[in-house]
């Protein structure tokens, strides 16, 4: 039985990357004996040009009929003059994540011994490499919290965003991190800012409660500013890094660059029904 894949190549380097990703999937089908059907759809700036919006209903229909989404990239200088809410990144990728409840982003950062020279860290720091999995909460936090807006004028003009996390949202992403750690090196490092942010106080409390169900997994806590420093000082200390949305966005990009290039790392964004959006780079 074939599985259906919605192919959203998007903008910029997206189509080039997607063409190579499909070649890899074709080779995997032949080697491992499974079958995929591809259906392409417009997203991002391309969709704005062709349909007047970054995520048209026709693209959502293709995704809803698929078993998985293969996603390239969106955005570029051509669309930067649009109102922020209509730009490809905000109007395509974020709504896709929310629509399918893709709350769990898995971003591996692995340096193999043979590729250690590509790492920008000193040889004595990178050693024989490292293997980190960043588990990022993807559908809550400051990117999705309300209210958000901009108002006023002159010296009193202001803009605001709201960071909100529910207990249930923290618990489900924490469980994903602990489950992942169980099949790796059994260590979770939870990244927060509990010394300043009330949401992060709740985050730490819930993570500790979840940890009680995983006595075989070691739990550590680290403030996000220290985490960014420790990644370049001693990356081997980390196994699974559990992060909220904004901190995970930053940490995962930093970890990716430590492998030599952000373009070398794939990621998966999953919901509770095993449906996922997969990004080759």
Which active-site residues does the annotation give?
143, 193, 225, 249, 253
Contact, 126 vs 112, CB < 8 A?
A: no
Q: How far apart are CA 141 and CA 244, in angstroms?
A: 7
Cα 194 from chain centre:
22
DSSP 8-class letter at 163: -
Q: CA dihedral defined by 132, 104, 280, 29, rounded to 10 degrees?
A: 100
Cβ(223)–Cβ(195) under 8 Å? Answer: yes
Tell me which residue of 256, 279, 8, 267 sits closest to 119, measured CA to CA.
Answer: 256
Rounded CA separation 163/148 (Å): 10
Enumerate residues 6+ apart whose C-beta is below 8 A from 281: 13, 17, 73, 262, 263, 264, 265, 266
- Mapped onto helix, strand or coil, the DSSP state of residue 274 is coil
């Amino acid at each position: 039985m074939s599985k259906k894949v919605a192919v959203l190549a998007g903008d910029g380097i997206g189509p080039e990357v997607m063409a190579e990703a499909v070649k890899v999937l074709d080779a995997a089908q032949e080697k491992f004996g499974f079958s995929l059907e591809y259906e392409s759809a417009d997203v991002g700036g391309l969709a704005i040009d062709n349909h007047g919006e970054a995520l048209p209903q026709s693209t959502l229909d293709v995704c809803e009929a698929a078993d998985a989404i293969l996603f390239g990239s969106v955005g570029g200088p051509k669309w930067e003059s649009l109102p922020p809410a209509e730009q490809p990144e905000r109007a395509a990728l974020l709504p896709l994540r929310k629509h399918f409840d893709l709350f769990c982003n898995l971003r591996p950062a692995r340096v193999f011994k043979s590729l250690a020279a590509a790492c920008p860290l000193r040889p004595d720091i990178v050693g024989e490499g490292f293997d980190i999995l960043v588990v990022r909460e993807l559908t809550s936090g400051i990117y999705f919290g309300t209210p958000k807006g901009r108002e006023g004028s002159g010296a009193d003009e202001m803009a605001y965003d709201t960071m909100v996390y529910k207990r249930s949202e923290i618990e489900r992403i924490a469980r994903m991190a602990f489950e992942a750690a169980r099949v790796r090196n059994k260590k979770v490092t939870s990244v927060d800012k509990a010394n300043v942010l009330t949401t992060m106080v709740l985050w730490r409390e819930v993570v500790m409660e979840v940890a009680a169900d995983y006595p075989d997994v070691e739990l550590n806590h680290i403030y996000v500013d220290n985490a960014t420093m420790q990644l370049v000082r001693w990356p081997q200390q980390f196994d699974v890094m559990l992060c909220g949305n904004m901190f995970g966005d930053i940490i995962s990009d930093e970890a990716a660059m430590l492998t030599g290039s952000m373009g070398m790392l794939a990621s998966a964004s999953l919901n509770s029904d095993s449906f996922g959006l997969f990004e080759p780079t």
